[in-house]
Amino acid sequence: MFFLLKKERMSEDRDSLGYWALPLPDIEGKQWKRIPKISRLVPFGYTLDPEDKDYLIPVAEELEALEVAKKHLRQYSYRQVANWLTQQTGRSISYRGLKKRIDIENRRRKVASVKRELARRLEKTLKEVSKLEESTGTYSTESRTA
């Protein structure tokens, strides 16, 4: 009884202080793609393609729950989030498996970011080189047909 009264009082306090609940993330627009099978284990969020054993088919419900779980990791431990994820999806994932999955995704995101930056710098350098070649007129990449 005391817990219910306290909970009601807390919700009243939150309302009076201007607290509000965050809206759920818009995951409807995401399209998950089929990926090649790299190891013998099937990662969380995918199932083996019955037609082609070398590819994995995405399970949208599991991948969407994983996206929400990443947001929960800001407040809760890996164990708690892994247990929540298992209850929500019905597919088991350990806290170590969840941590490994998140770490790999973060590492890949960083590598992709670095490569995009290097590609941008390369394009910029190539433009500068072509401007320099045109302005000096001493070197041309075109073949001479004269």
Per-residue model confidence as pLDDT tens digits over 64-91: 999 999 999 999 999 999 999 999 999 9
Residue 54 CA: distances (Å) to CA of 62, 64, 105, 138 = 20, 23, 21, 53
Mean pLDDT (the chain) is: 81
**Which residues, listed in sequence order, are joined to residue 140 by a DSSP beta bridge?**
none
Yes or no: say if 35 and 46 are a contact pair by the CB < 8 Å rule.
yes
**Hey, where are the domains in the chain?**
60-122
Average pLDDT of 94-121?
A: 94
pTM beyond 0.95: the answer is no
Check residue 33 and give its pLDDT: 86
* 23 pLDDT higher than 70: no
Q: Lowest mean pLDDT: which of 82-86, 95-99, 119-123, 130-134?
A: 130-134
* 139 pLDDT higher than 70: no
* 14 pLDDT higher than 70: no
Residue type, 84: W
Per-residue model confidence as pLDDT tens digits over 37-48: 988 989 999 999
* 95 pLDDT higher than 70: yes
